[in-house]
Structure 1
Amino acid sequence: MYTHSKQIRIGGIPAANAKAALILIHGRGGSAEDMMSLAQNLNAQDMAFYAPQATNYSWYPYSFMAPVKDNQPALDSAINLIDETVKQAIADGFTAEQIYFAGFSQGACLTLEYITRNAKQYGGAVAFTGGLIGEQINMNNYKGSFKNTPVLITTSDPDPHVPLTRVDASVAILKRMNADINLKVYQGKAHSISQVELALANQYIFNK
């Protein structure tokens, strides 16, 4: 079972000149470069970009709703790499309130899992088609308060990889932890990121 080497692509504007940091988490089969390209569609012109790269282009081997043990040690390694990415942004001078997240599919699941395990006031987060990870949601993993951090979750009904029931359950947990949630469900949308979703992200999260 693979674990992830520390590969973090840097882009956007230099941290010393940036007003915020954007952590970009790619999906299964995707890449850090894909997410760097995606960020060009966001109102993030004043941000430094940090995009961790999964070894073998996949963060964990099975569905995000498989038993957690089946996705180990890759899953823990993935979460640790995201934590390393956050720490790098903090070392570059950003506060948690200046850190934003955006992830797609597997990366959206990791985005939600990471921020909910480490709830505090962030700049904002976008999960393009994702939910909290595990066969059952383990509430023992989640603590803290988002202090009204804006979080946008988009998905389709049905989606071939992410059941709407899990998205709804994840939304309920984040709301209880004081996240300012916007959920948008599209009927029969392809498993991809649409221009409409990018516009929503700019409206709700990157509207500084």
Structure 2
Amino acid sequence: MNLETIAAGLPLTEAKKVLILLHGRGAGANDILSLTQYLNVSDFAWIAPQADNHTWYPYSFLAPLEQNEPSLSNALETLAQIVSELDKNGIKKENIYFLGFSQGACLTLEFTTRNAAKYGGIVAFTGGLIGDKVYAEHYTGNFDQTPVFIGTSDPDFHVPVERVNETEILLQKMGADVTKKIYPNMGHTINQDEIDWVNKLIFSSK
């Protein structure tokens, strides 16, 4: 995988920290990259893979897992390859950050929880763990106090608050430092309060 083709921000050869951004269904890499102008990530390299046909998997994230195969496994493998390539470039997991919106948020949470480690931070704008239920046996590792932000609307047409709550509980059991914010009738979007929280919790200068 040639990371240079999907990278922006600081050159990978110069960056000490990397933000992996995952777009939502029907959107693209450039859409999610536009968020970086609101985040304190000017000293990061940004990596934004593009899903085939603008979708990471075909059905709802709440569908039985087999219905979203092989697309889901392919999407998870894409992320595994990116993390592996970053490791070869000398970027440790504690300097890798993840951010996703909607379908990209679900994929972000699914990948990082299946591969829990001390990451720089994880941001899920409207998402939860993938499947017709939460399959606790699929998730291994320990987040070692990785800061995680999950924000969502109540209600949200695509992501039930119940799944967000279940996701929070599982991540906390696996050692994540989770901040969850639920906004009444926000709609399927990202609001300024969420941006402020992630800049404070995850992208503050350390």
Q: TM-score category by the smaller chain?
A: over 0.9
Is structure 2 residue 160 aligned with structure 1 residue 176? no
Specify which of 60, 67, 70 is matched with residue 63 of structure 1.
60
Is structure 2 residue 14 aligned with structure 1 residue 17? yes
Report deviation, 1:107: 0.3
- Write the letter of the residue equivalent to 1:189: M
Specify which of 188, 192, 198 is matched with residue 191 of structure 1.
188
Give the TM-score normalised by the residue count of structure 2.
0.96
Report deviation, 1:17: 1.7
2:126 corresponds in structure 1 to 129
Deviation string 1:53-105 (CA, Å, 9 cap, x unpaired) is 10000011110000001111111111111111212222222100000000000
**Which consecutive unaligned segments of at least 5 residues does structure 2 have?**
none
Equivalent positions of 1:194-205 (< 5 A) are 194-205=191-202
Bigger mean CA offset, 82-91 vs 60-69? 82-91
Equivalent positions of 1:1-208 (< 5 A) are 9-208=6-205
Report deviation, 1:19: 2.3
Distance 1:115 1:40 in 2: 24
Report deviation, 1:121: 0.3
**Does the CA contact (< 8 Å) of 1:64 and 1:134 recur in 2?**
yes
**Does the CA contact (< 8 Å) of 1:61 and 1:74 recur in 2?**
yes
The secondary structure found in structure 1 opposite 2:6 is strand
Report deviation, 1:119: 0.4
Deviation string 1:151-180 (CA, Å, 9 cap, x unpaired) is 000001000000000000000000000000
Q: Classify 1:56/1:17 alpha carbon distance in 2 versus 1 (closer, same or farther; 3 Å).
A: same
Distance 1:167 1:87 in 2: 28
Distance 1:106 1:166 in 2: 14
- Write the letter of the residue equivalent to 2:100: G
Q: Classify 1:6/1:45 alpha carbon distance in 2 versus 1 (closer, same or farther; 3 Å).
A: closer
- Write the letter of the residue equivalent to 2:46: F
The secondary structure found in structure 2 opposite 1:155 is strand
Deviation string 1:33-59 (CA, Å, 9 cap, x unpaired) is 111111121100110011111000001
Aligned length: 204
Report deviation, 1:6: 8.2
% identity of equivalent residues? 49
Which aligned runs of 4 or more in structure 1 are off by greater than 3 angstroms?
Answer: 5-8
- CA RMSD of superposed structures (Å): 1.4
Give the TM-score normalised by the residue count of structure 1.
0.95
